[in-house]
Amino acid sequence: MAKARTLYACTECGGQSPKWQGQCPHCAVWNTLVETVVPGGNAGSATVENRYAGLTAARAVITLDQVSAEDIARIPSGLPEFDRVLGGGFVPGSVVLLGGDPGIGKSTLLLQALQSVSAVSQVLYVTGEESPEQVAARARRLKVDGRRIPLLAEISLEKIVDTLRTQRPTVAIIDSIQTLYSEALTAAPGSVSQVRECAAQLTRLAKAGGPAIVLVGHVTKEGAIAGPRVLEHIVDTVLYFEGDSGSSFRLVRAIKNRFGAVNELGVFAMTETGLREVSNPSALFLSHTGDPVPGSCVTVTQEGSRPLAVEIQALLDEAHAPNPKRLTVGLETNRLAMLLAVLHRHAGVACFDQDVFVNAVAGVKIAEPAADLAVLLAMVSSLRGKPLPGKMVVFGEVGLAGEVRPVQRGQERLREAAKLGFTRALVPRANITRQGVEGIEAIPIDRVEQAVHWLREH
């Protein structure tokens, strides 16, 4: 096979250069040139006529109302928690990127999903990372019926594309995108240009009436998916598999989804026989101590369409170094610094001589500011050595002026708390409706000092 012609394109400005150079000749940025395949094979084909030659059969321009808005048919994965993050199941012709740390359970999850999909339609599992024996051993451990799951151990993109064309599966797994290489490029597998080219070709195949493709992606030490950022733009859905290595709980989170909501969360537990779904995850993020202890406060966060009760723990201890420690697990450290300043200025509680540690229980990560008030009260409770009243939840965003601002979907959060047996809630005033939520007494809070004062009285 003749080698396809390649040239070097700048990842910043898109400018092209026939040779690799340290600096892009077009935009003068350094180290941005990566090898790419020239579409059409040779330089002569890049004329305007040739570029549009393949598009003669293109569709006519239509207005939006002429597009029939059919519901997208979905292929359920057999795991409702996984379907939740996918937006209801695999969409034919779509591409999903599943990223996560090594050993977190990506291959396990996908093999379990293939088991159910294979009962209703054709599937294909492409392994570039593990040998067929390793995949088969995992399948036996998971008690997956191997007869219906065709396996291809291959890392050549061209051969994989050929197989996908002839086998015509409905769902195909590529484990992983970093192991593939295209013969058109000289770069090594896993390099930026290879990952990008392979993902782009597979996406093109999927969009042209091909299978739903799931690409497994490695993450770098910083937690981003290894390879170019463009990978996240090419695919339809980006999922991250997270979890604390110390616990068996695993979270699948949707970061981007063209076919569903983002920030959806699927919760699993890793067991001896694979991933098991956790359908009532709130109970998981509460520590199960009997009596209330100082420094602990339960909040309700919203993860996608689902409210989650999470326990926040704070520990304040006299600092012995000139710079007291400020540490958070699962929460933003900058946000903590802000809350400490608000606490001092508006409620008169000073913590400058204290080491402060704040933790969201069970490795959950909270990105939304709705947990602010709970963090603040957990700190006050720890500082005073006095537990918060039992069976109470707290939520609300804290502003720099010391105001407590309403959060989204306050009613749903209250209902979740009531369902879990909480009877009292400190919430922003605007989140309280006239009819209220049965079984829970909502106490309106306008300002930070008011919440701190309420604690003193109770």
Q: Which residues contact 160 (CB under 8 A, 6 or more apart)?
A: 126, 152, 154, 174, 180, 202
Sign of CA dihedral 174, 179, 182, 183: negative
Q: For residues 108 and 301, which CB has a smaller minimum distance to ligand TYD in the complex?
A: 108
Q: For residues 107 and 193, which CB has a smaller minimum distance to Mg ion in the complex?
A: 107
Residues 374, 299: contact at Cβ < 8 Å?
A: yes
Helix (H, G, I), strand (E, B) or coil at 326: strand
Question: Is 107 a residue that touches Mg ion (CB under 5 A)?
Answer: yes
Counted residue by residue, the chain has a size of 458
Residue 108: which of ligand TYD, Mg ion, none does it interact with, CB under 5 to 8 A by kind?
ligand TYD
Site mask for ligand TYD (CB under 6 A), range 213-252, x = bound? ----------------------------------------
Q: For residues 273 and 287, which CB has a smaller minimum distance to ligand TYD in the complex?
A: 273
Among 49, 272, 438, 457, binds ligand TYD (CB under 6 A): 272
Question: Is 294 a residue that touches ligand TYD (CB under 6 A)?
Answer: no
Q: How many whole angstroms separate alpha carbon 319 and alpha carbon 310?
A: 28
Question: Is 174 a residue that touches ligand TYD (CB under 6 A)?
Answer: no
Question: Is 70 a residue that touches ligand TYD (CB under 6 A)?
Answer: no
Size of the site for ligand TYD (CB under 6 A): 15
Q: For residues 102 and 322, which CB has a smaller minimum distance to ligand TYD in the complex?
A: 102
Binding piece for Mg ion, criterion CB under 5 A, among 104-112, 160-168, 355-363, 426-434: 104-112
Q: How many whole angstroms separate alpha carbon 105 and alpha carbon 248?
A: 10
Among 11, 32, 77, 107, binds ligand TYD (CB under 6 A): 107
Single-letter amino acid code for the residue at 199: A
Single-letter amino acid code for the residue at 411: Q
Q: For residues 94 and 107, which CB has a smaller minimum distance to ligand TYD in the complex?
A: 107
Q: For residues 107 and 201, which CB has a smaller minimum distance to Mg ion in the complex?
A: 107
Residues 299, 312: contact at Cβ < 8 Å?
A: yes
Q: Closest distance between ligand TYD and the C-beta of residue 259, in Å?
A: 23
Binding to ligand TYD, residues 108-167 (CB under 6 A) = 108, 138, 141-142
For residue 424, the surrounding DSSP H or E stretch is strand 424-428
104 C-beta neighbours (distance < 10 Å), count? 20
Tell whether omega for the bond before 176 is within 30 degrees of 0, i.e. cis: yes
Compute the radius of gyration of the chain from its Cα atoms.
26
Residues 181, 222: contact at Cβ < 8 Å?
A: no
Binding piece for Mg ion, criterion CB under 5 A, among 99-107, 223-231, 317-325, 372-380: 99-107
Binding piece for ligand TYD, criterion CB under 6 A, among 79-87, 115-123, 270-278, 414-422: 270-278
Among 270, 314, 407, 437, binds ligand TYD (CB under 6 A): 270
Distance of CA 101 to the CA centre of its chain: 12
Residue 102: which of Mg ion, ligand TYD, none does it interact with, CB under 5 to 8 A by kind?
ligand TYD
Q: How many whole angstroms separate alpha carbon 355 and alpha carbon 320?
A: 8
Question: Is 102 a residue that touches ligand TYD (CB under 6 A)?
Answer: yes
Residue 198: which of ligand TYD, Mg ion, none does it interact with, CB under 5 to 8 A by kind?
none
Q: How many whole angstroms separate alpha carbon 275 and alpha carbon 267?
A: 10
Contact residues for ligand TYD, defined by CB under 6 A: 100, 102-108, 138, 141-142, 270, 272-274
